[in-house]
Amino acid sequence: MRNIGRPSLKTVLKTTTVAGLAAVMLSSGIPAQVVQSYAAPVSVTAPQAPSFADVVSAVSPAVVSVRVQSDAQPVSDDNSNFSFNFGGRGFDQLPDDHPLKRFFREFGGQMPGQGDRNQDRADRNGPRNRDNPNRPHRLRPAAQGSGFFISEDGYVVTNNHVVSDGSAYTVVMNDGTELEAKLIGKDSRTDLAVLKVDATSRKFTYVSFADDSKVRVGDWVVAVGNPFGLGGTVTAGIVSARGRDIGSGPYDDYIQVDAAVNRGNSGGPTFNLSGEVVGINTAIFSPSGGNVGIAFAIPASTAKDVIADLMKDGKVERGWLGVQIQPVNQDIADSLGLKEPTGALVVAPQEGSPGQKAGIKEGDVITAVNGQSIKDARDLSRRIANFGPNAKVDIALWRDGKSQNVSVTLGNLQSDEAAKATPEQPDAPAPSSEKALASLGITVAPAGDGSGLSVTDVDPDSEAAARGLKTGEKIISVNNRKVSSAADVGKVIEQARKDGRTRALFQVEGNGNSRFVALPINEG
C-alpha cells in the first residue's frame, strides 16, 4: 500500500517555498485537496516592540555623570538594602504598618542596617592633581551620581544626597568631556540640587520637564544615567504606580517605575517617549542592593518649582503653618463624627506658630485650604509648602462636630520644623496608684504633674494594645476634653455614646510627643 501520510520533517524543512512544499506533497501521493489546505500561505503579523532609539539619541547628550569630591573623610558605600535615607530618617524609623516595611519583612529577609546617607558608589580612584599627575588630588572622593542639563547655559539638576557632602564637583558629559561645576543650591526635603557649569564658549543640549499630570500607570519610560560608574546607560520600563509614600519626609509623592535603576542612577532623569523628563531618580527598594524593579522618581511637577527657586535664590522658601499632624483613619473619623477619613488631625500646634496664633487647636481636623479639600496629612504638608512665607490662607476646620474657618498668615519654614506624623512612643515607668477602665482594656492613675492620666497597664488582648497604647504613656484628653480622672473619661465616653458615636478619640502623650488614638466604646 502506498504511503500517503505527511512528508518527512527533513523533506519539509528543505522546502523553501509554498510551491515547493506543494510539489513535495503531491509527489508523495497526497490528494490535491489536502495539499491545498497544507500549502495555503499563512499571514501572521508579529507585534512590534517599541524602539527607544530615537528618544535615547535625542536626550543622551543632555545626561551627565556627576563626580563629587570632599575635604572630609571618604563616605563609605551605603550598605542599606533599602536605599533611601533623607534628612537622617532611616528605614527602621518607618511606622510598623508602613507598606514598604511590611513588604521587606515578608519578602526581604533580614532587616537592613541604617546608613547615615544614601550615597552612590564612590569613585575609589579619585581625580589626579592636574599640576602633578603623579600626585593624588587633595580632595577625597565622596560620591558619584547622575544629572542632566536643563538649560543651554549649563544648569544641571541632580540629587541633594549626591552632592550634599561635597566641596568640588565635576560634570562628565556623554562624550567624555569633563567640566568643573559649582553648587548653586540644594534642598534636602525634596532631595534636589542644582549645579552650574561655566562654559561660555558653548551651548549645551538640554531637556525639558513633562506635564506629569498626564503620566499614567502603564506608560513607557526610559531612564538614562550612570549606574555603578557606567555612564550613558539606558534602561526602559513602565510607570508602576503614582503618589508613593516611602517614608522619606512630609512631601513624599513619588512616581514608581520598574526600569532598572541602580546605585549611580541617583539624580538621573526618567523620560517619556517624547523625550521629556517625567521624574528624577532618587531611591530604590532593594533587598540585594541591586535593581529589583522598584525605583522611585521625584515628579516633574515637584522638581520644576523647587529647581526654579534654587536657580533664583539658591534656596527654597516654604510656607509654615506650625502644627503637628497625623492622618485621619476610619476609627478617628468615627470618633469625631466625620463622614469620611480625610483631612489632617492636629496633634498639637507649636508654641508661637502661625497656626497657634490663628486659633488652631489640638484635636482639630484641617479639611481644606483655600477651599481645596485636604486628602491626608501629606497632602496638607505639600499644600502649605507650596505657599510662600507671609501668604494668607483660609483653613477649614472640623471642631466639636461642626465646620469652621480660620485665616492664617503663614510663616517661613527655615528648618525641619515641617508638620509631621508622631512616631510611636517608648515605654515609661508606671505610677503606683491605679484605677481600672476595664471596658477599654487600660488601667490609669492621676499623672504626677496633675495634668492628665498616666497609663499604668494595658491589656495585651485589648483594642487599646492593638492600636499601640503603652504603659507609661499619658492620656491628655478624650474627644478633645481634658481629663484628670477615670470619672472624667467615663463622662466623655457616655456622652459620645448618647451622640451615637462608636469610638472615642484619646490624645496620648509620651516622651514629649503627642498623638491621637481612636478606641471603641460600644463594648462592656
Q: Which of 161, 187, 353, 379 is catalytic?
A: 161
Is 364 among the residues known to form the active site? no
Pairing of the two strands 319-320 and 295-299:
unpaired
Q: Three cell numbers at 364? A: 482639630
Cα separations in angstroms, 66 against 145, 430, 458: 5, 54, 54
3-state secondary structure of 252: coil
SS3 content of the chain, % helix, strand, coil (to 5): 20, 30, 50
Q: Which of 475, 487, 489, 483 is nearest to 517 (CA)?
A: 475
Q: Which of 165, 191, 252, 258 is catalytic?
A: 191
d(CA 507, CA 51): 57
Q: Which of 209, 220, 443 is nearest to 307 (CA)?
A: 209
In what helix (H) or strand (E) does residue 446 lie, and over which residues does it extend?
Answer: strand 442-446
d(CA 422, CA 41): 70
Say if residues 192 and 303 touch (Cβ distance below 8 Å): yes
Q: Three cell numbers at 170? A: 565635576
- Sign of the alpha-carbon dihedral angle for 122, 123, 126, 130: negative
478 beta partners: 481, 506
Q: Look-up: residue for cell 482639630? A: 364
Residue 365 contacts by C-beta under 8 Å, 6 or more apart in sequence?
A: 328, 336, 338, 343, 344, 345, 346, 397, 398, 399
Say if residues 435 and 416 touch (Cβ distance below 8 Å): no
d(CA 220, CA 262): 19
Q: Which of 70, 164, 266, 353 is catalytic?
A: 266
Is 266 among the residues known to form the active site? yes
Burial 296-322 (b: 16+ CB within 10 A, else e): bbbbbbbbbebbebbbeeeebebbbbb
Is 240 among the residues known to form the active site? no
Say if residues 145 and 78 touch (Cβ distance below 8 Å): no
d(CA 199, CA 206): 14
Q: Three cell numbers at 219? A: 506608560
Beta strands in 272-425 (DSSP E): 277-285, 295-299, 319-320, 323-327, 344-349, 365-369, 372-373, 392-399, 402-409, 411-412
Q: Look-up: residue for cell 515641617? A: 418
3-state secondary structure of 117: coil
By annotation, the residues acting in catalysis are 161, 191, 266
